[in-house]
Amino acid sequence: MSKNIKFGTNQPEFYSTLSQRVNNYFKTKNISRNANAEMVIKTIFMMSLFFVPYAISLTGVATTLWVYLFLCVIMGLGIAGIGLSVMHDANHGAYSSKPWINEMMGYSLNLVGANAFNWKIQHNVLHHTYTNIYEVDEDISPRGVLRMSPDSPRRSFHRFQHLYAWFLYALMTIVWVVGKDFFRLVRYQNEGLVKKQKADILTEWAILIFTKVVYVIYIFVIPIMVLPFAWYQILLGFAVMHFVAGFILAIVFQPAHVVEGTSYLMPDINGTLENSWAIHQLHTTTNFAHNNRILSWYVGGLNFQVEHHLFPNICHVHYRHLSAIVEKTAEEFGLPYKMKETFWDALVAHAHMLKELGEEKTDPVLATA
């Protein structure tokens, strides 16, 4: 479907004006669009948040199961931190101006059990291009018990999804690590998306299998050999770690697009969308908690989702400073700049959206801009 979708051409001067102003910001400040010292320090911190508890657990400090599980909770925070603040920028090509550094840092995702190549297709290509378009943006087209789009078929149990979704969010990275990567690579190959990335499928399969084996060895085999716990207790630690990581990742990403006030835009019968790509991003993306510095630091600036979607190749440490430029330019052109004041407001608005989508019985007005 994605190959037939075309964006509109309305107000092309909006993005050209905005891009010029953003470029002038970096030129005037004489700073790079990529990582700075703050980003390097954050990278070290997030990596340490995962690997230091892992190393501690192997030294014999974790003499009781409760201590081991506590360390697994910290490792879960580390996985989420790496995903939000390190691999995300790297796989967008925003971490460094040097492609090899981006590639190396992007493989931090493989290091914690997932697959960078699949993520680039799912996130960079499908989500960032076709945001909130059903059956193209995989973030709102889940094959399961959640209804994230008004264009998705409704089932009777969806009326409870605002209650049970939070439990499913905790399973996100477990499903991703254990099975989804394999199914995705098969599907992307069959749909021609691997070829479009000019990638060699055998190489990608080799990388996927090799890194999964390495992950299993260091996250399962070594702890089973070293720690005084049964295999099922190690498995419990793995589950706890990923419950924490999956839940955090989900509640950061979902309120940016599946939230009250967002738009779900579908192309017409000719495959053409009403808006240009940049304006489409404004209609389908929502910021939250601009003033929460601690949250913004941990989530990799992804509370500034509008800025991220418009400029994904700019390192997230700059989003806070760009937000005023984006908001002002959007206002000048009479375009929306959507934002929830606090993280809690965003979560509540997401819950309300889940409830509304679960109760829909007719064609929703949400499907229009």
- Is 253 inside any structural domain? yes
- Is 367 inside any structural domain? no
Place of tokens 């960032």: 128
Computed over its alpha carbons, how large is the radius of gyration of the chain?
Answer: 21
At residue 338, the 3 state secondary structure works out as: strand
- Is 146 inside any structural domain? yes
Domain tally, the chain: 1
pLDDT band at 141 (very low <50, low <70, confident <90, very high): confident
Domain range for 303: 2-360
Q: What pLDDT was estimated at residue 368?
A: 41
- Is 211 inside any structural domain? yes
- Is 369 inside any structural domain? no
Query: Per-residue DSSP letters for 143-205?
Result: SSS---STTSPP-GGGGGHHHHHHHHHTTHHHHIIIIIHHHHHHHHHHTTHHHHTT--HHHHH
**Amino acid residing at 172:** M
- Is 39 inside any structural domain? yes
**pTM for the structure as a whole:** 0.92
Convert the pLDDT of each residue in 280-290 to its tens digit. 999 999 999 99
- Is 61 inside any structural domain? yes
The mean-pLDDT minimum among 74-83, 137-146, 224-233, 289-298 falls in 137-146
Average per-residue pLDDT in the chain? 93
- Is 232 inside any structural domain? yes
Convert the pLDDT of each residue in 328-363 to its tens digit. 999 999 999 999 999 999 999 999 999 999 996 544
**Phi and psi (nearest 5°) for 339?**
-155, 140
For the chain, give percent helix, strand, coil, nearest 5: 65, 0, 30
